[in-house]
Amino acid sequence: MAPFAIRTYGDPVLRQRALEVEEIDGRLAQLAEQMIETMYEAPGVGLAAPQVGVRKRVFVFDTGDGEGARVLVNPSITESDGEWTFEEGCLSVPGLSWPIVRPRDVHLTGWDLDGNEVSIDVTEYEARVFQHEVDHLDGVLLVERLDPDQRKDAMRILRARALDLRSGDPDGLGLLLGGDGAHRPDGAAAPGQASGGPSDRRVEGAPRL
């Protein structure tokens, strides 16, 4: 079982700015270790401390480049350039993803767990992961990066989900599919759906960050 439960949309910790890490010590290393375990369990590509309820400026990631999981402490994006559209999902907004436009290239600085300064240029996929995680540290969720039409759509889904949560249908599919609050029995996936969301907004393989 994962060491942490991942906080989801509606949890106030996701809207708060995380605080600078003052000291890179064993406690921080342990937090990072547990975050990595939680990320792999999810499974996800990146995870920021606020997503597990910890208001610290640290995130973990594994972009699948063979380097394994890495940790960035007090990261900041100091330069960004270009424009790139990419289908993005979030572990804190489960089951949904959207094509989102953000800068293509970023320069990121921060620290690793050994206290070494990190200064890297990344592009496209890796740059996207970093921007998403730094957003989490600033209390910004991907729904705030949507264009107005996408955002309206997202809010409709998330509101329906919140209503259904209260009535015992955590995926919110009752309201979405039936419009009358009809609930699926025992959480079985509706026909034609993988699970957990309307198929036109769900892209298998969109990285969950």
Of residues 11 and 190, the one with the C-beta less far from Zn ion: 11
Distance from C-alpha of 171 to C-alpha of 84, rounded to nearest angstrom:
30
For position 52 contacting Zn ion by CB under 5 A, the verdict is: no
Residues 195/32, Cβ–Cβ less than 8 Å:
no
Is 133 part of the annotated catalytic residue set? yes
Binding mask 150-189 for Zn ion (x = CB under 5 A): ----------------------------------------
Question: What whole-number distance in Å separates Cα of residue 164 and Cα of residue 182?
Answer: 10
What's the half-sphere exposure (Cβ side, CA atoms, 13 Å) at 134? Answer: 18
Q: How far is the CB of 149 from Zn ion (least distance, A)?
A: 21
Catalytic residue of the set 41, 83, 88, 133: 133
Exactly one of 49, 73, 90, 175 binds Zn ion (CB under 5 A); that residue is 90
| Residues 7 and 93 sit within 8 Å (Cβ to Cβ) | no
Percent of residues in the chain assigned helix, strand, coil, to nearest 5 = 35, 25, 40
Of positions 36, 45, 96, 209, contacts Zn ion by CB under 5 A: 209
Shortest distance, position 88 Cβ to Zn ion, whole Å: 8
Residues near 78 by Cβ (< 8 Å), separated by ≥ 6?
107, 108, 109
Q: Among residues 175 and 209, whose Cβ is nearest to Zn ion?
A: 209
Near Zn ion by CB under 5 A, which window of 9-17, 75-83, 84-92, 112-120? 84-92
Q: Is 47 in the site for Zn ion (CB under 5 A)?
A: no
Closer residue to Zn ion (CB): 136 or 174? 136
Per the structure block, which two tokens stand in for 150? 């996408």
Instruction: Determine the Cα–Cα distance for residues 199 and 152; give it in Å rounded to an integer.
Output: 18
Q: How far is the CB of 157 from Zn ion (least distance, A)?
A: 16
Residue 24 or 209: the one with the smaller Cβ distance to Zn ion is: 209
Q: HSE, CB side, 13 Å, CA atoms: give it for residue 142.
A: 30
Residues contributing to the site for Zn ion (CB under 5 A)? 90, 209
| Active centre residues (catalytic) | 133
